[in-house]
Amino acid sequence: MKRRMFRIVSVAALAATCASAFSYKPLYEDIDNLPLEDNRLAWNVWVPGESDDGDAWDPLFHDSVHYWNAEIPYFDLSAVTRDSEDCTRRSSGSASARNQINTVTWRETNCGGGSMAQAAGWALTFLGGSGDARVIDEGDIFFNEMFEHAEGGAEQMVFDETSFYSVALHEIGHNLGLGHGYIDAAVMAYGPTHKWRKRLSPDDICGVAVISGNREYCPVALGEAVASNGAAIQAHFSGYASADAGATAREALRPWQEFNIYTTVLIDPAHRGQPGQLHVIAETEDGRYFARNAEGEWHPWAGGELPAATPPGNLEHAMELIILGRNGITRGQPVFDPAHGYQLYREALTGIRLGLEGVNLKFWVAYSSEAEPDLLIYGSEPIRVAWTLE
């Protein structure tokens, strides 16, 4: 029986404007545990040519596939070079943008007819299945050699070895079910073309693991989700501290390092769309607690009602928050601080600036729904952070 196609999602990658999100966003926000068909995806690649510096595009794409495959071992990803690009072929012989072949090519328009004038790359991801089954059963990727900047319309070559590899990593992420994100160092970040990333962040890896039903492979998971009434729960909590805008996860920070602490919560399907909020509590070594409000302020908490750490609104499929810090690194000029003997960046948020030298903290993350105000859903493990010289 032929599989029915349920949905098509098109995503332009790395254009000249930013999307407003903090972390990975699943492409399919109404579907959980969405795997690849047979856990495999093999791309047929036709990206001939090379950069001005002699970097051949074809092996770079193969390298990007090998890197993703090494990071998500529960999937079998591969690529095969072929000698033509084809948007119309499908197994039945009829013409269609969806040809049941995972295509990787150069194109000025994608196979769906969409213009790529303001995109360095584009991914078309096809969702199929039968009955209640849902799988990603085809993914196409297109590269555009000439990028037209939205501000002035001027075209320029955007690809060298680093940028092509980075865009390839990004588009593969879309074919695996990820949407755009805003953690600055993540491959799935959506932003200006100077933000080329050659390594997957913990957020990228966790995103694919969670939405594909392989949550045990999320490197920054905050334990099992727990409901205060003991009910079974399908939520998922992740989070980590980083000294490089999200590129790597850290538990130990130097006091002078600028840092961010991120969390992402995938809400249980029963609570999505309901009015609700995230909550964050910081626990000190001596057993004191501080709760964060939606303005980012911290106040002592001795039990009772928790303040909301997010503005009023509905619980989305994915809820994200920068617990402390800010996204991106903007330092300005360092200034010598005689009290500590360090060159400090006055614009940076550091442990020294917050008086956290020698401090160990645990950050607990939870959410609640206004429909069930006495029910609290939380991660069973905290984000652990220490500001230390050791």
Q: Helices 57-71 and 161-175 sit at what angle, rounded to 10 degrees?
A: 50
In this prediction, residues 15-43 reach a mean pLDDT of 71
Note whether 378 and 238 are same-domain residues.
Answer: yes
Task: Give the residue, 54 or 233, on which the prediction is more confident.
Answer: 233
pLDDT band of residue 278 (cuts 50, 70, 90) is very high
Distance between CA atoms of residues 227 and 210, nearest Å: 19
pLDDT of residue 200: 96
Answer whether residue 291 shows pLDDT above 50. Answer: yes
Same domain, 280 and 366: yes
Residue 224: pLDDT over 50: yes
pLDDT of residue 289: 97
- Choice among 271-280, 320-329, 356-365 with the minimum mean pLDDT: 320-329
Would you state the structure tokens that stand for residue 321, as one six-digit string?
């928050």
Q: In 111-193, at which residue ranges do the beta strands (DSSP E only) sit?
A: 121-129, 135-143, 146-148, 155-157
- pLDDT tens for residues 154-182? 555 557 777 889 999 999 999 999 998 77
Question: What average pLDDT score do residues 260-266 get?
Answer: 94
Top-confidence residue, 55 or 194: 55
Last residue of a domain, one of 211, 234, 251: 211
Are 71 and 93 found together in one domain? Answer: yes
Instruction: Tell me if 80 is assigned to some domain.
Output: yes
SS3 86: coil
pLDDT of residue 214: 95
Where does a domain end: 171, 189, 211?
211
Name the β-bridge partners of 384: 362
Identity at 324, one-letter amino acid code: L
Are 370 and 226 members of one domain? yes
User: Do 181 and 294 fall within a single domain?
Assistant: no
| CATH number of the domain bearing residue 262 | 2.70.50
Q: What is the pTM of this model?
A: 0.86
Helix 161-175 and helix 202-211: axis angle, to 10°?
A: 20
- Residue 225: pLDDT above 70? yes
What Cα–Cα distance (Å) separates residue 219 from each residue in 188, 199, 214? 17, 15, 11
pLDDT above 50 (res 215): yes
287 and 184, same structural domain?
no
Whether the predicted pLDDT of 2 surpasses 50: no
The residue-averaged pLDDT of 77-93 equals 73
* Sheet (strand 4-13) strand order: 4-13, 121-129, 135-143, 102-106, 40-46, 76-81
Place 17 in a pLDDT band, splitting at 50, 70 and 90: very low
Looking at the fold, whether 206 and 228 belong to one and the same domain comes out as: no
Same domain, 115 and 244: no
pLDDT given at position 136: 92
Rounded to whole angstroms, the Cα distance separating 338 from 355 reads 15
Domain-terminating residue out of 168, 191, 211: 211
Per-residue model confidence (pLDDT) at position 338: 66
Check: CB of residue 275 under 8 Å from CB of residue 369: yes
Q: Are residues 42 and 129 in the same domain?
A: yes
Query: In the structure, what pLDDT confidence band is assigned to residue 6 with cuts at 50, 70 and 90?
Result: very low
Q: Let me know whether 228 and 325 are in one domain.
A: yes
Phi/psi for 246 (5° steps) reads 105, 0
pLDDT over 70 (residue 75): yes
Contact (CB, 8 A) for 282 and 290: yes
Residue 319 has pLDDT above 60, yes or no: yes
Q: How much is the average pLDDT of 5-29?
A: 49
> What digits encode the pLDDT tens for the residues 117-137?
777 888 989 888 766 778 999
Residue 238 has pLDDT above 60, yes or no: yes
Inside any domain, residue 105? yes
Q: Do 242 and 164 belong together in one domain? A: no
Band of residue 95 on the pLDDT scale cut at 50, 70, 90: very low
* Residues 172 and 248 grouped into a single domain: no
Q: For residues 48 and 57, is the Cβ–Cβ distance under 8 A?
A: yes
Is position 76 within any domain?
Answer: yes
Phi, psi of 210 (to 5 degrees): -70, -50
* Beta-bridge partners for 43: 79, 102
Distances (CA, A) of 123 to 94, 110, 142, 217, 298: 22, 8, 6, 25, 42
Expressed as residue numbers, the domain containing 135 is: 4-211
* Domain CATH for 34: 3.40.390.10
In a domain, 216, yes or no: no
Q: What is the mean pLDDT of residues 296-300?
A: 93
Average pLDDT over residues 258-276: 94
**Helix/strand/coil for 328:** coil
The predicted pLDDT at position 280 comes to 97
- Residue 347's pLDDT band (cuts 50, 70, 90): low
> Domain total for the chain?
2
Give residue 259's pLDDT: 92
Q: What is the mean pLDDT of residues 326-337?
A: 60
Residue pair 219/244 in contact (Cβ under 8 Å)? The answer is no
**Six token digits for residue 69:** 């495959």
Of 15-24, 314-323, 372-381, where does mean pLDDT reach its minimum? 15-24
116 Cβ neighbours under 8 A, 6+ residues apart? 12, 107, 108, 109, 110, 122, 142, 144
What per-residue confidence (pLDDT) applies to 366?
Answer: 98
Banded pLDDT at 328 (limits 50, 70, 90): low
Instruction: Find out whether 351 and 386 touch, Cβ atoms under 8 Å.
Output: no
